[in-house]
Amino acid sequence: MRVAFGTVIYKMAHSYQEDYINAINNQDTKDFDVLLLNDNLNNEKCEYLTNRIKQKIIWVNRKTDMTIPELKIELIKSAKEKEYELLIFGDFDDSFSENRISQYILNYDSKYSFYYNELYYMDQKNRFFYMLPPIVEEINPILECNFLGFSNTALNMNTIDHTLLNSLNTKQTIAFDWMVFSLLLLQGHKGKKIEDCLTYYRIHEHNIAGETHYSIEGLKKEVEIKVAHYSKLVGIDSRYLGLYKFYTDLKNSFTTNLLLKKLTINNQYWWGSINKDDVLRDWPL
């Protein structure tokens, strides 16, 4: 099986590159290539990566003025064009357990279109999410939240077609990984958790999806992200129309301080602080 470990590399995460390099070099299998799409590093920094990473590197050409979603789409398209069967994602500012790639290869199952693993904080001591389901077969688990990011997932490229990739260009949002896996599930694809391997997730100021912040700013950010997300999906599944209307009304009318006092947060996934049914039950609009 042809396996690629894919990453978009960028200047803001350059200071964390040694952890990334060491995580790749310390993998307990060598049966993979490293697929790198350079966003904005200069030639000297790219050459440094080429010299330090021991695996074969395949560089992906970046087109001018690409958005963050476009960069990720281009990375996936390149893996498809180069006929990789498994594309394992890793962020440039994260690190990984030494068996992350070997566990994905060992547990590959062709009936699943994507795979995911546990996320831990960079100190390697504490789990980021409370619990991940062993299998995801429909959209409900990520309808109002998300645990599938480009730091802890992989794609079975044999199940990814160009129709999906082309459709992603019209579905660009700030929480783009949420969009990718939502579309896969809405199209009937399934995901499987890969046990006994980890991603070590770094929290810093440039994270789009960091920790859940129980604050006015955190709630406003979640509402805005959900409005943008649902606006792209209203024509695909009827549930999204109701969610879009609800979160749009919430964005335009609610008193954040009041909502903050009333919310009981019981979801530790990204964008999971607010749940439509809970709000309507406790605080009808």
Where residue 32 falls among pLDDT bands split at 50, 70, 90? very high
How far, in Å, CA of 70 to CA of 215, rounded? 31
Contact 11, 39 (CB under 8 A): yes
More confident residue, 267 or 109: 109
Domain residue extents for the chain: 3-201, 216-282
* pLDDT at site 256: 56
Q: Provide the mean pLDDT of the chain.
A: 88
**What is the pTM for the complete model shown?**
0.92
- Separation CA 148–CA 30 (nearest Å): 25
* DSSP conformation class of 134: S
CA pair distance 77, 62, nearest whole angstrom: 12
| Vertex 184: Cα angle to 8 and 204 (nearest 5) | 35
Q: Helix, strand or coil for residue 146?
A: strand
Q: What is the mean pLDDT of residues 157-180?
A: 91
Q: Model confidence over 50-75: pLDDT tens digits?
A: 999 999 999 998 777 888 899 999 99
Q: Which one, of 175, 35, 9, lies nearest residue 101 by Cα?
A: 35
pLDDT-based confidence at residue 220 (cuts at 50, 70, 90): confident
**Residues 6+ away with beta carbon under 8 Å from 190:** 111, 112, 113, 114, 135, 136, 137
Structure confidence by residue, pLDDT tens digits, 114-164: 999 999 998 878 888 888 999 999 999 999 999 999 999 999 999 999 888
CATH of 3-201, one of 1.10.760.10, 3.90.550.10, 3.90.10.10, 3.40.640.10: 3.90.550.10
Single-letter code of the amino acid located at 202: R
Contact 271, 208 (CB under 8 A): no
Distance CA 4, CA 88 (A): 6
